[in-house]
Chain A
Amino acid sequence: MIVPYALEISVVCVGIFLLMVDAFLKTDKTTIAWTGVVVLLAIFGMTFFLSPMPVGAIPSSFYVLDPAALFFKRFLLLATVLTLILSIDYSPVYLKFVPSAAPQAGLGEFFTLPIFACAGMMWMVSANDFIMIFVALELVTISFYVLVASMRKNQGSLEAGVKYLILGALSTGFLVYGITWIYGITGFTALDGISSVLPRVPEQYQPSVLFGLGLVLVALGFKVAAVPFQFWVPDVYQGAPTPVTAYLSVASKAAGFVVLLRVLDPFLSVAAFQGKVFGILTILAAVTLILGNLAAMSQQNLKRLLAYSSIAHAGYLLVAVASLSAPGAKVAIGFYLGGYLVMTFLAFLVLLNVAKVSGGDDIRDFNGLGKRSPVLALGLLIAMLSLAGLPFTIGFLGKFFIFEAALASGQYVLVVLGAITVACGFYYYLKVVMAMYWQPAAPSATNIQVSPFGHFLIGLLVLAIILFGIFPQPLLGALTHL
């Protein structure tokens, strides 16, 4: 039997080991990333020898291993593996923008920092105490600050790094301040303790608790890219190295949602807070849906479009959070995030390969991709259709489960709004598809060669999107106890 902490400890050890390899051995740096991929996959396999444990069975009050934690640990490990593979593909571009005295300098750090971020996020999804949440969150954000700004000779990357750092520090401030209010009233930082005290909080102190929770929601809203805390998203997503953008939009968002669910849990089980908290969440979900989708419609740059689409998807997920009173809502969130992982990484994989050759990630760089590189075009087509939510894709089922939960909990306004914004989504996702198949390619555009492994990966992700879109039971089975 494996000790529950063993997962994170092994991930950290892998990171340290690879840093050492980077420092002392003169190997080709991509070996570091491949080693990381293999070992993380082994750790992914290790998770299947662990089973969820009751709270008392783990000797630390900070750490829980419930079904949700275990599912999202697997999710994060897979996301990190995909990020590393994307990073290997991206390394020629990365090296162009790094000041280096030796060939491949800086690449080792670029490959190891995601591994540490992965450990941080795995701690985040198991965190059962505000102190643990805060510490793990900081580990993740600091890794991301560095990763986002790491292409130092690229202005976009630097700009993204500065914006992310300043706004991230601000949101951290909100988080800590909110925690102190909750701690002040309840006397606990542990979520179990808070939930035991909350029903007994006298009425006159309830606004103070809500104020604290509101501040925490601001910080978590920043993490999951919810409107009105989304200002950083477009610039940071566009400026950051592409694999980091994908990682940020999938893993960081998922970990943020898990923490959000955990923090909300004690508050939603007390009748006095329930109504108000659901009210706040409904408003957040509505504005996020509207703004994310509307702003995406006018984008001409695919990376920026995906940034706004990431805000829009946070909106759909918030619809599920606002419908948590329905029994299926948590499963819907897990399923949606699972689908979001596959389709986002597929989109970024194609984007990265096209941008590497054409040198830009505007939508017009994708003109005529259907003829220039049919495999890439097909991959992006499937990713876009699934992101838009066409039936028989995983994206459709994700939205379906979320709207089902929303209907069950009586959030009719959000369902109508969601249906309208899905239609907007079709417009801007299909704009990309149109460019690929109906626009003529620029005369200078060349065909794009993809490695056999690239073909394999695209095939795998496409297969996952369609397979789980028609036959979702295996994924749902993994989520049943959420």
Chain B
Amino acid sequence: MEVALFWIFAALMLGFGAAVIFLKSPVSSALSLVVSFLGLAALFLLLDAFFIGIIQVLVYAGAVMVLFLFIIMLLDLKTERARKLNIPALIGGLMVVVGFIALLVKLLPDFHIAKPALARPVNDVASVGMLLFSDYNLPFQIIGVLLLVATVGVVLLSRKELK
């Protein structure tokens, strides 16, 4: 059952992920991205990572994507025109992808997951919060600075006329 669900959701995620790239209209791309995120969230749930799964739905599929859609509609983006294929770039890209997949195929049968560093699974808000504010406090603070920089940057880059 679990394996079947894994394949269904993985296929869903990858299929719609590809659709994000190949569809020409920005709105369809954004909607495909929502479905792709939902598939990813389902995969997290299958791995017993409930917290991340739910956050994935709430934050990415919910908040972020709604923002994306709003922006696309507000900017009234036109459908992308067909681009000419750049053959050397295509061949180069394919070589990297094929090489990457070949490596993965060769390595994955031998892959073995070690005992994780965290003693017990962290699945609920309380224990995630505890970890963030105790052991992982320093990186968490740095993310705070990162968000500040991102906010300043967005204002600098997007405001029509700076004051």
Contact = CB atoms under 8 A, between A and B. Distances in A.
- A, B in one complex: yes
Interface of A: 5, 12, 16, 19, 60-63, 98-102, 105-106, 109-110, 112-113, 116, 119-120, 123, 129, 131-132, 135-136, 138-139, 142-143, 145-146, 149-150, 152, 183-190, 193, 197, 204-205, 207-208, 211
A101 B163 contact: yes
A62 B142 CA distance: 12
Contact of A99 (B115, B137, B162): B162
Given A150-B156, A184-B113, A187-B116, A139 B142 contact: yes
Interface string B29-72: 00000000000000000000000000000000000000000000
User: Sorted from nearest, which 9 A-B pairs have the closest CB atoms?
Assistant: A146-B153, A187-B114, A105-B162, A101-B161, A106-B162, A135-B139, A139-B146, A109-B156, A100-B162
A190 B135 CA distance: 12
B139 A186 contact: no
A193 B114 CA distance: 12
Contacts, number: 108
B152 A207 contact: no
B90 interface: no
A186 B114 contact: yes
B130 interface: no
Given A132-B139, A142-B150, 14 more contacts: A5-B138, A60-B137, A102-B163, A106-B162, A113-B156, A120-B145, A131-B136, A136-B142, A142-B153, A146-B149, A146-B152, A185-B111, A207-B106, A211-B107
Contacts of B153: 109, 113, 142-143, 145-146
27 contacts: A19-B152, A60-B138, A99-B161, A101-B161, A101-B162, A102-B163, A106-B156, A109-B153, A110-B156, A120-B142, A120-B145, A131-B139, A132-B138, A132-B142, A139-B142, A142-B149, A146-B152, A150-B157, A185-B111, A187-B114, A187-B117, A197-B114, A205-B112, A207-B107, A208-B107, A208-B110, A211-B107
B162 A102 contact: yes
A216 B160 CA distance: 38
Nearest to B154: A146
Given A109-B152, A112-B152, A146-B152, A190 B117 contact: yes
B148 interface: yes
A38 to B, nearest CB: 22
B148 A16 contact: yes
A208 B108 CA distance: 8
Interface of B is mostly: helix
Interface residues of B, number: 32
B81 to A, nearest CB: 18
A110 B156 CA distance: 9
B59 to A, nearest CB: 17
B103 interface: yes
Contacts of B149: 113, 116, 139, 142-143, 146
B21 interface: no
B11 interface: no
Nearest to A124: B142
A16 to B, nearest CB: 7
Contacts of A113: 149, 152-153, 156
Interface string B9-26: 000000000000000000
A193 B152 CA distance: 36
Contacts of A184: 111, 113-114
A143 B152 CA distance: 9
A239 to B, nearest CB: 15
